[in-house]
Amino acid sequence: MGNYKSRPTQTCTDEWKKKVSESYAIIIERLEDDLQIKEKELAELKHVFSSDEAFCQVNLNYRTENGLSLLHLCCVYGGNKSHIRTLMLKGLRPSRLTRNGFTALHLAAYKDNAELLTALLHGGADIQQVGYGALTALHIATIAGHHEAVDILLQHGAYVNVQDAVFFTPLHIAAYYGHEQVTHLLLKFGADVNASGEVGDRPLHLASAKGFLNITKLLMEEGSKADVNAQDNEDHVPLHFCCRFGHHEIVKFLLQSSFDVQPHVVNIYGDTPLHLACYNGKFEVVKEIIQLSGTESLTKENIFSETAFHSACTYGKNIELVKYLLDQNVVSINHQGRDGHTGLHCACYHGHIRLVQFLLDNGADMNLVACDPSRSSGEKDEQTCLMWAYEKGHDAIVTLLKHYKRPQDESPCNEYSQPGGDGSYVSVPSPLGKIKSMTK
């Protein structure tokens, strides 16, 4: 069993995908850097490409500061297929990389130049050659979302399931960036819809996480046969991701389909899709899950002793969500997880003072105790929600708990007592007097 207080805000998969996002941003930066031609170099290029006579006299060993050869420059600035053919016949190697790690074919794909792509391929450019990040020209065209370039490369035999340095295939990339036309084309050429990335992520995981409904549908079409219950390395299924990020249209599509989606499946942390929706305050998704798949997930606890109700209290910013879960009459407001902590403990620990007030007003028992699972079995360490609030320095919540009176016991002016200077108690207005009217 995990320790609730030590629950990580980011999973290993989150960290990996952050690195993936950063790596693709760097790739685009490097490509754009190769496209930047200095003014002096630009003047020279204008002269080179101005006439056949000037072009024939050019030094074949010409390089820019970024290491671009004339073949690269043809793809970047104003070249045509005749230039490509001439340069390759004169011995310029299409395999040469710029300092940023790209071939002429990579740059032609990035620029979406069909004429130059075809000329390079007919001249013998290696369609499978990898550059920076183990990227092929097909990867580059897919990143840029260039449907025509992707089509040309596939028709000339580009390997549709090739993986780059982060183990993404072109289909992963198309799903990640939301390129619908490219996705359709890749599937047409036999892309493996269930190919696994570095952390077990399939294209369907990526589309679901990003909220690309049309791509999700493409991946789930009859001929595609994406595994809707495929698990990544942390046992997340696609439904986990669209619930976590609040893509309720995809949630509805998956749950209403005939794909045999398992709505109550858990990841390695014991989280159901409902848990993740509650942890992230996705109220519309929560309603969608419960309406379409029932309340089974409401009673499941993850390894941190949290039900979906606890999860909503941990999020704590949507009182209507908490109320909706309680209205299902499956878990009570004083439900204790295996370690004894309640939703009130969660709200106190995370400083959600409005939710604390709501829970107290609706019958939450502040005297229930949790036990620290990190302690040895021989020790008894019972912790009230007051102790959890105090531990995190939430002084206003500590004050509220110490002096809380039930609504039926409070005076009309909504006061509570606190110690006066002479040791007696005096009544003072509650700093939360307005909360009740906002939460009822």
> Which of 198, 310, 289 lies closest to 239 in space, CA to CA?
289
Residue with tokens 């089974």: 296
Question: CB-based contacts of 440: which residues, under 8 Å, 6+ apart?
Answer: none
> Which of 77, 152, 136, 127 lies closest to 102 in space, CA to CA?
136
Q: Return the amino acid letter for 244.
A: R
Determine contact, residues 166/23, Cβ cutoff 8 Å. Answer: yes
Half-sphere exposure of 15 (CA within 13 A, CB side): 7
pLDDT of 436 above 70: no
Helix (H) or strand (E) holding 7: none
- Band (pLDDT 50/70/90 cuts) for residue 349 is very high
Task: Sort strands 382-383 and 370-371 into parallel, antiparallel or unpaired.
Answer: antiparallel
Least confident of 229-238, 305-314, 371-380: 371-380
pLDDT of 264 above 80: yes
Q: Which residues pair with 383 in a beta bridge?
A: 370
pLDDT: which is higher, 44 or 226: 226
- Band (pLDDT 50/70/90 cuts) for residue 374 is low
Residues 256-283, mean pLDDT to the nearest whole number:
94
pTM for this model (two decimals): 0.86
Reported as a single tens digit per residue, the pLDDT across 130-168 is 999 999 999 999 999 999 999 999 999 999 999 999 999
Q: For residue 55, with 0-12 CB atoms within 10 Å meaning exposed, 13-18 middle and 19 or more buried, which class applies?
A: middle
Percent of the chain with pLDDT over 70: 85
Write down all domains in the chain, each with its CATH number in brackets. Answer: 1-159 (1.25.40.20), 235-331 (1.25.40.20), 337-440 (1.25.40.20)
Retrieve residue 39's tokens: 């003014």
Q: How far apart are CA 40 and CA 65, in angstroms?
A: 11
Q: Given this model, what pLDDT does residue 413 score?
A: 44
Residues 238-259, mean pLDDT to the nearest whole number:
94
Average per-residue pLDDT for the chain: 87
Reported as a single tens digit per residue, the pLDDT across 5-41 is 878 777 888 888 889 999 999 999 999 999 887 666 6
Residues 38-46, mean pLDDT to the nearest whole number:
64
Identify the DSSP state of 330: S
Least confident of 16-20, 43-47, 209-213, 365-369: 43-47
Residues 62-82, mean pLDDT to the nearest whole number:
84
Could you give the C-alpha distances from 430 to 366, 393, 419, 422, in angstroms and in order?
18, 19, 14, 21
